[in-house]
Amino acid sequence: MSEQTLPRTRSFRFNWDKTLNTTGAWVLALLWFLPLAYAIWTAFHPALYEVRFDLTAPLTLENFTKAWEAAPFARYFLNTVLLVTGILAGQFILCTLAAYAFARFDFPGKTVLFTLVLLQLLVMPDILIVENYKTMRYLGLVDTITAIALPYLASGFGIFLLRQTFMTIPKELEDAARLEGCSILGVLWRVYIPLAKPTYLAYGLVSVSHHWNNFLWPLIITNSVETRPVTVGLQVFAAADGGLEWSVINAATLLTSGPLLIAFLLFQRQFVQSFIRAGIK
């Protein structure tokens, strides 16, 4: 008898902790979603409904056409994609090799070098704009996608993150691989990289979204349509003097952030899990 009633009373008991957590999560989620909801609302309706909520308001795609025509967005998208994939590839290669060296090898000056890498985390990239510009000019790279990417390739954050991950991987796995005749780089390729996959995924997301949204440096170092990313194209709309057209601005914002949003929704589960495993918050 008691065995049957106990679970039943439990399921009816009001769980304060759980309710609070759920309500909190919903409130936060709604707050986060509100600007996006407003953007979607205004983007799909005529400008007249920017400040009026009316369920029967006519839907339109005109804002998207207007936004798309305001700048050569097709080319800008291509540039942004080239830029973020280029940066990501470069960062993965450089950071993996550096992190492997810092995690598993002993060499003179290791601590000093690693401190220097960590120091990079303390420097705001914006401070270095003039120096970076000088370097790019010296290399003859002004107005190229390479010039936008180059200052970010040796990422201190990436090196640090991967080193920490590599250090948590048991040395026994490496020893076993070495016994089987694996070379130094072979160990990296066959043992370390596969085990650090969640970290790569999490770091990749942070890097891609950061560079997708970066504005000031690309604006300064590039001059032509062939090299500029979408963020510079978006700037055409930020003309406050003439009165803001929120519907077109929001359509443009959705267009440019759309690919990232969709990618995140598609790979949401993997991202969330890898964030938890990699410990980035």
Q: Which of residues 137-156 bind other proteins (CB under 8 A)?
A: 137, 142
Identify which of residues 50 and 62 has a Cβ nearer to other proteins in the complex: 50
Identify which of residues 6 and 225 has a Cβ nearer to other proteins in the complex: 225
Comparing CA positions, the residue from 262, 248, 263 lying closest to residue 73 is 248
Identify which of residues 10 and 52 has a Cβ nearer to other proteins in the complex: 52
Among 118, 125, 134, 139, binds other proteins (CB under 8 A): 134
For the bound state, the minimum distance from the C-beta of residue 146 to other proteins, rounded and expressed in Å, comes to 16
Mask of contacts with other proteins, 205-244, x by CB under 8 A?
A: -----------x--xx--xx-------x--xxxxxxxxxx
C-alpha 53/C-alpha 55 separation (Å) is 7
User: Is there binding between residue 7 and other proteins (CB under 8 A)?
Assistant: no
Comparing CA positions, the residue from 98, 127, 128 lying closest to residue 113 is 98
Total residue count of the chain as it appears in this document: 281
Q: Which of residues 46-75 bind other proteins (CB under 8 A)?
A: 50-51
On whether the CB atoms of residues 182 and 260 are closer than 8 A, the answer is no
Mask of contacts with other proteins, 262-281, x by CB under 8 A?
A: --------------------
User: Is there binding between residue 133 and other proteins (CB under 8 A)?
Assistant: yes
3-state secondary structure of 58: coil
User: Is there binding between residue 1 and other proteins (CB under 8 A)?
Assistant: no
For the bound state, the minimum distance from the C-beta of residue 243 to other proteins, rounded and expressed in Å, comes to 3
Residues 6+ apart with CB under 8 A from 264: 205, 271
DSSP assignments along 145-178, one per residue: HHHHHGGGSS-HHHHHHHHHHHHHS-HHHHHHHH
User: Is there binding between residue 183 and other proteins (CB under 8 A)?
Assistant: no
If binding means CB under 8 A, how many residues of this protein chain bind other proteins? Answer: 26
Location of structure tokens 């008898």: 1
Cβ-in-10-Å burial (0-12, 13-18, 19+) of 106 comes to exposed
3-state secondary structure of 86: helix
Identify which of residues 108 and 243 has a Cβ nearer to other proteins in the complex: 243
Residues 6+ apart with CB under 8 A from 197: 274
Judged by CB under 8 A, which stretch of 5-13, 131-139, 192-200, 273-281 contacts other proteins? Answer: 131-139
Q: Which residues bind other proteins (CB under 8 A)?
A: 50-51, 129-130, 133-134, 136-137, 142, 216, 219-220, 223-224, 232, 235-245
